[in-house]
Structure 1
Amino acid sequence: MKKVYIIISTYNEEGSVGMLTQSLEENLSTIQNCSYELVFVNDGSKDQTFVKLLDLQKIYQNITIINQSKNFGHELAMTAGMNYAVEQNFENEYAVLFMDADMQHPPEVAAELIRLWLAGDSLVLTKRTDNLDKGFRYKMMGNLYYWILNGISDVKIPRNMPDFRLLDKKYVLWMSSLNEHDRMFRGMLSLIGLTNATIINFEAPKRFAGQSNYNFLNLYKLAIDSVIQFSVKPLRIASLIGFLGCVFSFIFLTVSVYINFTNNEPRTGFLTLLCITVFFSSLTILFLGVIGEYIGRIHIQVKNRPLYFNDVIKKK
């Protein structure tokens, strides 16, 4: 029998996991010829999420808890769940469905993803038509983010397509073969290819409980990771600007010498020299920072450390 592993990453979601589990059980119970397992990845929650999950495991038969030793981040939480599915069911036919625990990924849509997979679709993605929990400013910033990202990245990442998706075994094995420490699932999947994807639209409702765990610093890190993981264009842009800066400096120097000789006016040029020095020194520091980002990630990757540490807790 086919099986679906529903990977649910949770971080401080004590108010949502109970309702999510109940709603998933109601929506998935009508699906025939397919079993499923709810794999909750507790990503170092600081509230009572882990206790709530243990209580739910006593009630429901098909819940597995992956308890991360600390908060490794959303991407690695999904990786931990995906790797668990690979280890458990390597030879049989299965799929992995990723979703969040805040109820903004509707359980009824999750059931629809599974039905499409059973009908023969091997890669089923979702596209968010609206997010009732976010305002106009968030949507504008999101559009700007994707415009910049796809402008300087070698891998094009579709906008408004969250990590709410179902992957057949073939895609799961491809994704698990990518041995990267800094991960962005959307970019990794685009790197593999989306030509055979089926896309269904959905409207994200407001969070059932709690607040979003993504602050400005999290989003900033995600933006930096998105660019650096899939492109070397920032390095090329830095080289181009450096070259143009050298040309500009040469032209400016030539013009300054010409004016001094033709007008016979003694000029110290101190302010001009100071401005140029500060400008190009700032560019140098900026470009060194870009290069440092790449070197830092190489430094971390070559250590080949484990991506995460966790305990897998199954129902006894």
Structure 2
Amino acid sequence: MNTRRRISLVIPFYNEELNVDNTLAAIARVVDPQRYDWELVAINDGSRDATLAKLQAASPSNFELIVVDLSRNFGKEAALSAGLSQASGDAIIPLDADLQDPPEMIAAMLEKWEQGFEVVLARRADRSSDGFLKRQSAAGFYRVMNRLSEVKIPDNVGDFRLMDRCVVEVVSSLPENRRFMKGLFAWAGFRTTSIDYARPEREFGETKFSGWKLWNLAVEGITSFSIAPLKIWTYIGVFVALMSFGYGSFIILRTAIQGVDVPGYASLLTVVLFMSGLQLIGLGVIGEYLGRVYLESKRRPPFVIRSVQQRGGKAAE
């Protein structure tokens, strides 16, 4: 009877045909089939290039390749959720297909896991491969997120981490379909440690996260784990109401003493536009939360799997 524990690597792929061969080769170099059984769960997230064909043609010898083909592009968060649902390992490690999450760190993660930690975070100690704007925006996001949310997200930690089976079962059991995975991982808790690494540059292809997508991901994270924006607008409303009451009292008092004054068009227009702007911003914040409630109420699944194929490893012998 095989008593060795199983390690699952989970990698979402979206238009990564240039990285498929390099990624599989890098995984093959770092896995140790003498100590663990290995599987790589590769999720094709609706790629429009030859990514799926390359994955289905691969036949690795020292690990099992499970190709999960989604029915369309659902986004990285949903693709990662699909991979976690198919992973059968005792420990699961998500990482990116562009090799900016170096597979060489897996051995150090497993050592921490063997010491009893249930979550091993990979912290980016050096982000010089990222542009200045991306580094500053990422730092700003973590500061804002951790001030607004009760769930603290570790700085400079992405999806690259090791999670014990018990952690993945908790995350996979959560019913929400608008999934901000970094927040869900942090919310689950468990015994956690971290290791530092330098994030290398992407060798092939281009990043799929534009500035707009990163902004939407940040909004998703904040609204998923904090109601502070709603509370802030409550305080803003109280402050503006008090200011309006004070200004109204001043106008009444001045009129009673000095008589009726000719109203000023410019000042009146300024106040109206200012109040209208505040109301529209407040409605926008409420709309963000209401939209997420609407989407969650439909109870649609976060992803749809077209097929699952097993390649290579012991399954192919």
TM-score, normalised by the number of residues in structure 1:
0.91
List gaps (5 residues or longer) in structure 2.
none
What is the percent sequence identity of the aligned residues? 33
Query: Match of 1:127, as an amino acid?
Result: R
List gaps (5 residues or longer) in structure 1.
none
User: What secondary structure is seen at the aligned counterpart in 2 of 1:9?
Assistant: strand
Moved >6 Å (runs of 4+): none
* Preserved contact between residue 5 and residue 37 of structure 1 (Cα < 8 Å): yes
Task: Determine the structure 2 residue equivalent to 1:131.
Answer: 127
- C-alpha change, 1:203 and 1:233, in structure 2 (3 Å) is same
1:18 corresponds to 2:13 = no
- Render the CA deviation track for 1:4-50: whole Å, top value 9, x for unaligned: 11000111111112111111111113x64311101111111122111
1:8 corresponds to 2:3 = no
Of 301, 304, 307, the residue aligned with 1:306 is: 301
User: What secondary structure is seen at the aligned counterpart in 2 of 1:313?
Assistant: strand
- Render the CA deviation track for 1:82-132: whole Å, top value 9, x for unaligned: 1112xxx4xxx7111110000100010123223332343321111001124
1:101 corresponds to 2:104 = no
Measured in 2, the distance between the counterparts of 1:24 and 1:61 equals 9
Matches within 5 A, 1:119-268: 119-193=115-189, 196-264=191-259, 266-268=261-263
- C-alpha change, 1:107 and 1:26, in structure 2 (3 Å) is same
Task: Determine the structure 2 residue equivalent to 1:37.
Answer: 39
* Preserved contact between residue 131 and residue 206 of structure 1 (Cα < 8 Å): no
User: What secondary structure is seen at the aligned counterpart in 1 of 2:153?
Assistant: coil
- Render the CA deviation track for 1:189-213: whole Å, top value 9, x for unaligned: 221225x212000001000201111
Higher RCO by CA contacts (8 Å cutoff, separation 6 or greater): 2
Query: Match of 1:228, as an amino acid?
Result: T
* Preserved contact between residue 57 and residue 64 of structure 1 (Cα < 8 Å): no
Q: CA RMSD in A?
A: 1.9
Q: CA deviation at 1:59?
A: 6.8
* Preserved contact between residue 28 and residue 60 of structure 2 (Cα < 8 Å): no
- Render the CA deviation track for 1:65-97: whole Å, top value 9, x for unaligned: 111111111111110011112xxx4xxx71111
Query: Match of 1:215, as an amino acid?
Result: S
Task: Determine the structure 2 residue equivalent to 1:83.
Answer: 85
Measured in 1, the distance between the counterparts of 2:255 and 2:207 equals 61
* Preserved contact between residue 38 and residue 63 of structure 2 (Cα < 8 Å): no
Measured in 1, the distance between the counterparts of 2:125 and 2:217 equals 22
Task: Determine the structure 2 residue equivalent to 1:282.
Answer: 277
